[in-house]
Amino acid sequence: MTHNALFTDAALAILMALAGLALGLVYFASLKRSVTLFVGGKNWLAPLMLTLGRIGAAVALLYVAAKLGAAPLLTAFIGFLIARALALRAERRTG
């Protein structure tokens, strides 16, 4: 590893954890919205686009994190799991 890298390993891991958390929050909000649209039964194209978009974004983030190394990949996934826990907690409060 060179010393003139843009980020240190710890900073990169923290950045990827925050990116995973942000993507996770958007992912689970999109999941809730697509389920609501699908159950409504009016249109199938909008839930399909939301599904493809959220899966594509998750794959892209995890692919980039994997290219950066093991620590960024693990922290991005941990951030995503924290977002899942937050989404489940919010759903229990409202639903």
Kindly state the tokens that stand for 88.
Answer: 């489940």
User: For residues 32 and 88, is the Cβ–Cβ distance under 8 A?
Assistant: no
CA-CA-CA-CA dihedral for 69, 16, 75, 23, to nearest 10: -130
Residue 2 has what pLDDT? 52
CB neighbours of residue 34 within 10 Å: 19
Residue 42 has what pLDDT? 82
Question: pLDDT per position in the chain (95 positions), as tens?
Answer: 555 555 678 889 999 999 999 999 999 999 999 999 999 888 889 999 999 999 999 999 999 999 999 999 999 999 999 999 999 999 898 86
Domain boundaries, given as residue ranges, for the chain: 11-94
Residue 74 has what pLDDT? 95
Assign residue 69 a region (left: φ > 0; alpha: ψ between -120 and 50; beta: otherwise). left
Residue 9 has what pLDDT? 84
Residue 27 has what pLDDT? 97
